[in-house]
Amino acid sequence: MKIDRNLNLVMPIQTAKNGVVYIHSVSISRAVFEQFYLELGKVFSQCFDSVNQAHLVLSAPQLAYPALKSIATKAGNWDGTGGVKFGLVNEIIRLTNVLVSGEKGWESIPFDTAVKRGVLDEDDEAELLSSLVFFIAISKVAPKDLKNSFLEMAGALRNWVLSSLDATGYMNGLPTLNKKEPTGKKAKESSVIS
């Protein structure tokens, strides 16, 4: 896995309503990172707080969003127009699309719309937000030489894909799903005698 500047994260997730959907997220800009570097740096530090390597792979992606919220709340920087929730979390959500297979093929919908439509339930949303915060913290804070190994370890367990493709490009490469369902009509008997 090669990590470049245009790093996008793709996460497959099994949903109750729509089967497997793909979450495609673009990393935040340098300007947004510089605005929230302190909080992301602390999340990164908490992800690597344990001596146990399994922590990074198993629990850190699950704990990144709650850690970010706790850090920002303690600093009095969670709510408000300049706060982490409004500035950083909303930006992560804005940069994330959900690729859903429907009757007309694959469709890309914004993350928040997928939540409103029920494509993602409350648990899916919380787990994905945490994984996205983890991804941002690693991709923006980790030393360049270590980004690969950190994301490979966590991503291998979760089937993450790092891609330079945008959401549309990635979606266009997904297999077309053919759902053959009975129409309820009986086939006509042939009048041709063979």
Which pLDDT tens digit goes with each residue over 64-78? 999 999 999 999 999
Residue 113 lies in a domain: yes
Total domains present in the chain: 1
Query: Where on the phi/psi map is residue 92: left (φ > 0), alpha (ψ -120 to 50), or beta?
Result: alpha
Mind listing the pLDDT tens digit for each residue in 141-168? 988 878 877 788 778 888 898 889 999 9
- pLDDT reading at 181 higher than 60: no
Range of the domain at 65: 8-172
pLDDT on residue 191: 43
pLDDT on residue 65: 94
Residue 16 lies in a domain: yes
pLDDT on residue 186: 47
Q: What is the rounded CA–CA span in Å between residue 151 and residue 173? A: 23
Is residue 13 very low, low, confident or very high in pLDDT (cuts 50, 70, 90)? very high
Is residue 56 very low, low, confident or very high in pLDDT (cuts 50, 70, 90)? low
Residue 182 lies in a domain: no
Q: What is the CA radius of gyration of the chain?
A: 20
DSSP string spanning 8-59?
Answer: EEEEEEEETTTEEEEEEEEPPPHHHHHHSHHHHHHHHHHHT-SS-HHIIIII
Other CB atoms within a 10 A radius of the CB of residue 117 amount to 13
